[in-house]
Chains A and B, each alone.
Chain A
Amino acid sequence: MSTYQLDARRLLCPMPVIKVQNRASELNTGDILEVVCTDPGAVNDVPAWCRINGHEVISAGQEGDEVKIILQIGETDE
């Protein structure tokens, strides 16, 4: 189990979700991904994407002008 970072700043939705999705597909079950975004919509969209794709949202919130989301990779199909 490892922790990874993803910088999705300056991207507008759905690009942060696409970045998270593509990165998550390379990780293993239990890995942690810390994502930082500037689009305020990401605070809703990234957790929604996690819920429907079986990943766990550990925290999601606004920190100043940035949105920080920490998620844990769930069971992977591949």
Chain B
Amino acid sequence: MPNQKHKAVSLISGGLDSLLATKVVMEQGIHVEGINFFTGFCVEGHTHAIRKRDQDKPKRNNALWVAEQLGIKLHIIDVIDEYKDVLINPKHGYGANLNPCLDCKTFMVSKALQWLEEHEFDFIITGEVIGQRPMSQRKDTMPVVARDSGAGDRLLRPLCAQNLPATLPEREGWVKREGLYGFSGRSRKPQMALAAEFGFEEYAQPAGGCCFLTDKNYSDKLVDMWQHHSSRDYELDDIMLLKVGRHIRPRDNFKMIIGREEGENKFMEGYRKEFISLFCSSHSGPLVLIDGDVSDEDLLLAASIAARFGQGRTAESVVMEINYPDGQSKPVAVAPIAPANIDEAWYV
């Protein structure tokens, strides 16, 4: 008999797998609530919110949307600070880019376990499928997540449970094993068929993963930041700024962040009290933030590079305003740098 008394917390990423895994367990009469962790690197929303050209796309948070489809509560937890250690010191290393997937999954399940204990829930659900992801979802790494997170047999993966040893909710009869699935491998077909069976027609399909750390360009910028900051520690603003603009490092001691369009310029405006910023007053052009300790000579170089990205790029001379965080500003006339003098290696 389905048992209403038992409660599960489900890790909701906003993708199809966690949607289905949750639904499968709800179908067995279990009370489920969702949990979603915000690490600061989640692809969710941010870029849409910043970039004007993306603003006609629906700006919905997929995890909230999934919870609404399922009719369950969703608890969104800020884990930005705790996540630093996962990213900086991953026990199991990184994937293809700076994605510490195995440690990340373990961390998230351990946080879900903590929530479960505080709220007297009985077990944890994830949408993991054996063989789906090269690092965290292999037959040999799935027990690692269960063990290292401390969740042990209270971790149920409904989409591939039939390929794994029976967990506590199955052994206790809270859920029927035959009502779970035995998916494996990279094919998405079984999930799509199950989605159709449940009548889910629309869902997010994250390509590489659920966060920016799987993105090569983003990871390159993060490595550059770590190489040039005194420690690998970071604040939310640091990692947010890696998502915006063109990043150019003409000298070891400073980097320029050049807005690529209106939405980014507007977002970057909010940082003018923390960084020296440049903008062209004689022509239109992007807002530029300077990250690092700079000399007057560095600022002239930065101004000539910034001039190359504005409407005055072919003018003999443009006026750039140098704005300091304390509110002072200084105009300088510079010639836009010749394209041949922009070293490709400066692009981060």
Contacts and interface: CB of A to CB of B under 8 A. Distances in A.
Contact of A48 (B36, B64, B75): B64
Contacts of A48: 60-61, 64-65, 68
Nearest to B34: A52
Interface residues of B, number: 29
Interface stretch (B46-54, B91-99, B131-139): B46-54
Interface in A32-53: 39-41, 44-45, 48-49, 51-53
A58 interface: no
A41 B48 contact: yes
B65 A40 contact: no
Given A10-B270, A41-B49, A44-B59, A15 B64 contact: no
A12 B46 CA distance: 6
B177 to A, nearest CB: 29
A14 B73 contact: no
Contacts of B347: none
Given A48-B68, A52-B64, A13 B49 contact: yes
A54 B74 CA distance: 11
A21 interface: yes
B76 interface: yes
A7 to B, nearest CB: 14
A36 to B, nearest CB: 15
Contacts, number: 71
Contacts of A45: 45, 59-61, 64
Given A18-B78, A39-B49, A44-B60, A52 B270 contact: no
A17 B76 contact: yes
Contact of A40 (B36, B55, B68): B55
B175 interface: no
Given A44-B61, A45-B59, 15 more contacts: A12-B50, A13-B49, A13-B61, A14-B38, A14-B61, A41-B59, A44-B60, A45-B60, A45-B61, A45-B64, A48-B64, A49-B64, A53-B73, A53-B74, A54-B73
- Kindly list the 9 A-B residue pairs having the minimum CB-CB distance in the complex, ordered from nearest: A41-B59, A13-B45, A48-B64, A45-B61, A39-B49, A12-B46, A41-B45, A52-B67, A41-B49
